[in-house]
Chains A and B, each alone.
Chain A
Amino acid sequence: MLYTILQITLLCVSLSMLGLIYRVIKGPTTPDRVVALDAIGINLIAIVALVSMVLDTFAFLEVILLLGILAFLGTVAFSKFLEKGEIIERDRDH
């Protein structure tokens, strides 16, 4: 029963990742692609959680937290790049 639910949920998340990948490939503007990549990272967290339930192990749970942090950092870096043209700016030019 639980295994069936897990497989259905994995199927849903995989379909959603397919849709997001379509948006990354086709998306007309760059922020579109960044939004879709952020959502792909978040969906990847869900997939890791589901797979760790399928395999019945605790070993992947650190990966979840790590992926969350990395997705957030990547999104912040990209949005700073889109907004200001550089990621780490220099305050003083003299």
Chain B
Amino acid sequence: MIIGGFLSLVTAFGLLRLPDVYTRNHAASKSATLGVMSILLATFLYFYLEHGHFNSRLILAIIFIFVTAPVAGHLISRAAYNSGVKLWDKSVRDDLKDKEEYERQNSST
């Protein structure tokens, strides 16, 4: 539970500090997911140990967040790239930049 709180704090710090959309997305999708999963695991263990109440919905929620949060991060990142958001100006390489050129070469040969 402490780990979860600490990780969500790390998320917020990363979202405040990092320079562009993609690194912020990196911080948000990973550390927030792991933090919430540990908090939900703590909740599940609390109810199971204190009350003997086996709550399957919490396990389902843990699995669901584990599956969907990286997918959501990927979708947002791809949408940001395709809608033309600039990378950080210190980025070194951009492999998707000349994708159209690459496709043109492939279709000509």
Q: Which A residues have a C-beta under 8 Å from some C-beta of B?
A: 2, 5-6, 8-13, 15-20, 22-23, 29-32, 34-36, 38-39, 42-43, 45-46, 49-50, 52-53, 58, 61-62, 64-65, 68-69, 71-72, 75-76, 78-80, 82-83
Q: Are A42 and B5 in contact (CB under 8 A)?
A: no
CB < 8 Å neighbour of A31 from B1, B21, B60: B21
Q: How would you classify the secondary structure of chain A's contact residues: helix, strand, loop or mixed?
A: helix
14 contacts between A and B (CB under 8 A): A10-B5, A20-B12, A29-B21, A35-B15, A39-B11, A46-B39, A49-B58, A50-B1, A53-B42, A53-B43, A58-B51, A58-B55, A82-B83, A83-B79
Q: Are B1 and A5 in contact (CB under 8 A)?
A: yes
Q: Are B4 and A72 in contact (CB under 8 A)?
A: no
Q: Which B residues have a C-beta under 8 Å from some C-beta of A?
A: 1-2, 4-6, 8-9, 11-13, 15-16, 21, 24-25, 28-29, 32-33, 35-36, 39-40, 42-43, 46-47, 51, 53, 55, 57-58, 60-61, 64-65, 68-69, 71-73, 75-80, 82-83, 85
Chain A hits for B53, CB < 8 A: 58
Q: Are B57 and A65 in contact (CB under 8 A)?
A: yes
Given contacts A20-B12, A61-B57, contact A42 B76 (CB under 8 A): no
